[in-house]
Amino acid sequence: MTATVKTKTKLNNNDQQFSQHAPLPILSEHQLGANDYVYILNDDMNLAALKKLHENFTAKGVTEMDTLYIVLNTSGGLPSIAFEMANYLRLIANRIIGFIPAGVFSSGVILAASFNELVMGGIRSHLTPIDIITDRAYTAGVGFNHDSTENLMACYDAVIEKACDALNTVTGIILEKSKLNIVDAILASKALTESAMRPILEKIDPQMLGSNYRARDLAAYYLYYVLVDIRGWDTTEAWDLAKHLSRGFPSHGFRIKSVQAKKLGLPVVEPTENDFIAMNQLAFMLDDMENFQEFSESHELHKVDQDNGVKPANTKSNRKRSA
């Protein structure tokens, strides 16, 4: 089967871009049934993308699909939209197999987690954490990176930790250099430390802190309900994973490869050798592709020769390749 991707092409008379179809072999060994479909979702998680998804599926005129293959590539966006997409697609497709040729970032993982299988293992194939990105700059006056609520929480933790360290250090110095008792030394240390920390602490907005504290669990709850209500996970295991993906990684862009994703309990399967090659080809094309969504044109098993870089289907060499 040949899926169709869109590559960016410049118009001669202005700076606008238009989409030009270019064939790429994927799912080369998957014989589609009469009620199986392939959908390419190379888009952000926003309202326009949800609308386009609905328009495309409505235009297709199929209210129930046996297996839906989704080639998913997304930089993320609104977790609520990813949640809506997951529930919408589950109403239509009995089984969903996702192919992850490159990156599924942030809230896109909420959608990916709703799939029955995740085919991962290509050179750029990865997921990321789902911690929430802050909607406006706020650094508590200390200049920390604040691209996610988790980073902002780390800012507060760092301020508190340094204040405590300073209190302990100053108390020790006072005890060593003066004749004060421990109580008086602590009081003196507290006065010195407060005078140094007050300019920073006064810039912390309690309402902003509370807002971000609640927001940190927003994506986690959406993922939790996808795992429990769509995938049928145990509630404790679902919350453990949702909490870990929203709080347990050092950065928002941390790459979670197939091995780690499988250990986390996600339904990761390895690609066949042909699909491995084709997914890698697609991964390196993504930088030149504009956002788009569409159904694949073909329902036929795609067999290409070795000149195209993919071995013919149904050969002995079509073994699975590790991540």
pLDDT for the residue 287: 65
Cα dihedral 135, 136, 140, 146 in deg (nearest 10): 60
Q: Does the structure show a pLDDT above 50 at 3? A: no
pTM: 0.73
Q: What is the pLDDT confidence band of residue 135, given thresholds at 50, 70 and 90?
A: low
Query: What is the predicted pLDDT for the residue at 270?
Result: 92
Beta bridge partners of 5: 22
Of the given ranges (18-22, 49-53, 73-77), which has the lowest mean pLDDT?
A: 18-22
Please give the structure tokens belonging to residue 106.
């942030």
A 10 A CB-CB count for 172 gives 12
Superfamily of segment(s) 2-132+219-308: 2-enoyl-CoA Hydratase; Chain A, domain 1 (3.90.226.10)
* The pLDDT of residue 30: 66
Binning pLDDT at 50, 70 and 90, where does residue 26 land? low
Which carries the bigger pLDDT value, residue 136 or residue 122? 122
Q: For residue 52, give both structure tokens.
A: 């386009």
Q: Residue 119: what pLDDT?
A: 95
Domain boundaries, the chain: 2-132+219-308, 149-214
Alpha-carbon span 282 to 289, nearest angstrom: 10
CB atoms closer than 10 angstroms to residue 231: 17
More confident residue, 231 or 178: 231
Question: How far apart (Å, rounded) are the C-alpha atoms in residues 262 and 62?
Answer: 32
Q: What percent of the chain has pLDDT over 70?
A: 72
pLDDT at 260 over 90: yes
Question: What is the C-alpha to C-alpha distance for residues 29 and 44, in angstroms, rounded to an integer?
Answer: 29
The string of pLDDT tens digits covering residues 35-72 is 999 999 999 999 999 999 999 999 999 999 999 999 99
Which residues, in sequence order, are CB contacts of 290 under 8 Å at separation 6+?
Answer: 6, 8, 17, 19
